[in-house]
Amino acid sequence: MRVSTKALASVTALLFFSACVTPPPIPRDGGSYRNASYEPPAQDRYNDGDYGPDDPRSFEQGRYADSGHYSRRPTARVGIHLGGRQLETLDFEPTDELGVFGVDFVQVRPPGNLGLEFGLMFAYDEENNVTLPNSSVGDLELSQAEIYVGARSEFGDGPIRPYIGGGGTLLSATRTLSQGFTEADDDDTTVGVYLHGGIQADINEVFSIGIDYRHVFGRDFEFDGAGGTSFDVDSDYDQLTFVLGFNL
């Protein structure tokens, strides 16, 4: 088979042109064939530790956990609270130890790990066959609902972080007395401030668990009394809940 001299010349010219215009491969070790100022890609700089945990740029992609591996830094989470509430007043006895369910949303941003929080809390207790002051017997129920918003601060950048927070709250309470086929209820709403603190631990990049202690300082409730009178009831309480969090 005869090969054309012109075809060989064309192929040779094409290969020479391609070798001239095609840049050499860039090495992964940070070196360069032609440019001494070449820097490795961002992921290599993270792996090499160029951005430490205190550098704000490290939080744009993730964080260094205590174990040394790189993982995403959660800045927002939804928490589900389950626990108990102890009222400071004796006027609600024997319905003064309530079960609690709540949902909150928290968002903090580094540096400083400062942010906002808001949420809803619901509490309930009941006692049957209670002897009342007039010697009659009835069933008592007490329910409370609360909505709050405040500020939050977390400490540390590892998977286990303590925190504190506080803000304003709107708290309502309804008490119900049932005797046979009759039922009477009364309710009131008040305002207050809350303080809370606890510790949370990341299980993985999605879930976290924690324990939260909370205290509310509120204005008194006003309930109806006998003969058209009214009386004040302290709204302060202490609360301890277990928290299951979902990192966003």
Give the tokens for residue 100: 């609690």
Domain residue spans of the chain: 7-70, 74-247
Does domain 74-247 fall into CATH 2.40.160.20?
yes
Q: What is the pTM of this model?
A: 0.69
Least confident range from 69-83, 97-111, 209-223: namely 69-83
Give the per-residue pLDDT at 113: 84
Q: What is the pLDDT of residue 37?
A: 54
Residues 61-88: tens digit of each pLDDT: 444 444 444 344 567 999 999 999 999 9
What Å distances lie between residue 39 and 48, 54, 82, 129, 226, CA to CA? 12, 21, 50, 77, 81
Mean predicted confidence (pLDDT) in 8-28: 49
Q: Among 14-18, 66-70, 113-117, 192-196, which stretch is predicted with the lowest mean pLDDT?
A: 66-70
CA separation (Å) from 225 to 173, 218, 222, 231, 235?
Answer: 16, 21, 9, 6, 17
Comparing 42 with 75, the larger pLDDT belongs to 75
Name the band, by pLDDT with cuts 50, 70 and 90, for residue 40. low
Poorest-confidence range of 46-60, 74-88, 179-193?
A: 46-60
